[in-house]
């Protein structure tokens, strides 16, 4: 063991190490530094007692204050919901057609509706509601089932051709592959191709087949029928495509597009109204029928 000595020049204790007359001083740490160091140890111990800290088998020690990041988030969500509670109640009690008359309410409905749309509708109708093959574009004014805010809210609430909601919008185009000959279907495909160019739906051989088999749903003018969700065949807007192959499949097999029902409990009442208001103002919304 080395002997501790004092350095003559500084008066500081040395470590006892000596290299060719050069000694190593054992300068003590400054007092302020030491006390700060001890204070951080005490603080650390107290912290691990108060807050979640020590890893355990599947969780961590909880800390006596019971603080958790999850609880904090839940509290913030509850606060945000409480802040919106009034306007949500107002949305529920306001008639659909009257929402747009109140700027603050309309503003809230559009923002909340856009969020509902992004979460629940965009996977089928597209981020911008532009639609995709089989999923209608909601930006234009071509509506299968109707474009008033009441029509839209009904579609959202009950859905289309689903099994879950007995009030779902429902209609079924027959699969004409079982009913007509291949040649007749080919004639109809060629006939349908002419309709968006302004041809008379009832003219010629195709027109005869159309009148007998199709006009009951798509109309003698081929402009569709909303009560049946039967699309307008004259507007150059094709849900399922207008190539010969697409039209042959549509007519021979029929399509049977299904949309889930979004009424409570899936979405809350105010969310249904908000998303209807959002879709209605996207571009194709129609005016509500005047109240009686």
Binding site for ligand HEC (CB under 6 A): 117, 120-121, 123-125, 134-136, 138, 143-146, 152, 155-156, 160, 171, 173-174, 176, 188, 192, 213-214, 216-218, 228-231, 233, 238-240, 247, 250-251, 255-260, 262, 275, 279
Q: Which two three-digit tokens encode residue 267?
A: 């979405």
Cβ neighbors of 176 (< 8 A, separation 6 or more) are 185, 188, 213, 251, 252, 254
The answer to whether the beta carbons of residues 192 and 247 sit under 8 Å apart is yes
Please report how close the Cβ of residue 152 comes to ligand HEC at its closest, in angstroms.
5
What whole-number distance in Å separates Cα of residue 226 and Cα of residue 144? 6
| Residues of each annotated binding site for heme c | 121, 124-125, 173, 214, 217-218, 259
14 versus 231: smaller Cβ distance to ligand HEC: 231
Q: Which residue's CB is nearer to ligand HEC, number 23 or number 120?
A: 120
Q: Minimum distance between the CB of residue 105 and ligand HEC, rounded to whole angstroms?
A: 19
Intra-chain end-to-end CA distance of the chain, in Å: 107
> Which residue lies nearer to ligand HEC by CB, 109 or 214?
214
CB of 97 to ligand HEC, least distance (A): 16
Cβ-based nearer residue to ligand HEC, 112 or 138: 138
Tell me how far, at minimum, the Cβ of 250 lies from ligand HEC, in Å: 5
Instruction: Find out whether 213 and 179 touch, Cβ atoms under 8 Å.
Output: yes
Least Å from the CB of residue 234 to ligand HEC: 11
Helical packing angle, 103-120 and 269-280, nearest 10°: 100
For 206-218, give one letter per residue: b (16+ CB within 10 A) or e: bbebbeebbbebb
Complex with ligand HEC: residue 51 or 135, whichever CB lies closer? 135
- The answer to whether 143 and 286 have CB atoms below 8 angstroms apart is yes
- The encoded tokens of residue 216 equal 């009951």
């Amino acid at each position: 063991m080395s002997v501790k000595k004092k350095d003559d020049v500084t008066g500081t204790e040395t470590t006892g190490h000596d290299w060719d007359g050069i000694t190593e001083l054992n300068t003590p740490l400054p007092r302020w530094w030491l006390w700060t160091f001890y204070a951080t140890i005490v603080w650390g111990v107290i912290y691990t007692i108060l807050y979640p800290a020590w890893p355990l088998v599947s969780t961590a020690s909880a800390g006596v204050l019971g603080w958790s990041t999850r609880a904090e988030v839940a509290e913030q969500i509850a606060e945000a919901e409480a802040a919106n509670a009034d306007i949500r109640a107002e949305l529920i009690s306001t008639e659909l057609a009257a929402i747009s008359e109140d700027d603050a309410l309309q503003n809230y409905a559009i923002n909340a509706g856009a969020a509902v749309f992004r979460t629940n509708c965009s996977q089928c109708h597209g981020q911008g509601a532009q639609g995709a093959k089989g999923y209608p574009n909601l930006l234009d004014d071509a509506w299968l089932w109707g474009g008033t805010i009441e029509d839209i809210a009904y579609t959202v609430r009950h859905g289309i051709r689903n099994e879950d909601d007995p009030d779902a919008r429902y209609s079924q185009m027959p699969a004409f592959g079982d009913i007509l000959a291949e040649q007749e279907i080919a004639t109809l495909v060629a006939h349908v191709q002419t309709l968006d160019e302004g041809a008379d739906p009832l003219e010629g051989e195709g027109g005869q087949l159309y009148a007998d088999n199709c006009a009951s749903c798509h109309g003698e003018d081929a402009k569709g029928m909303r009560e049946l969700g039967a699309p307008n065949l004259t507007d150059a807007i094709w849900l399922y495509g207008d190539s010969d192959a697409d039209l042959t499949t549509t007519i021979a097999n029929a399509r049977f597009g299904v949309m889930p029902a979004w009424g409570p409990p899936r979405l809350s009442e105010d969310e249904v109204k908000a998303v209807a208001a959002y879709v209605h103002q996207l571009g194709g919304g129609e005016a509500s029928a005047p109240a009686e």
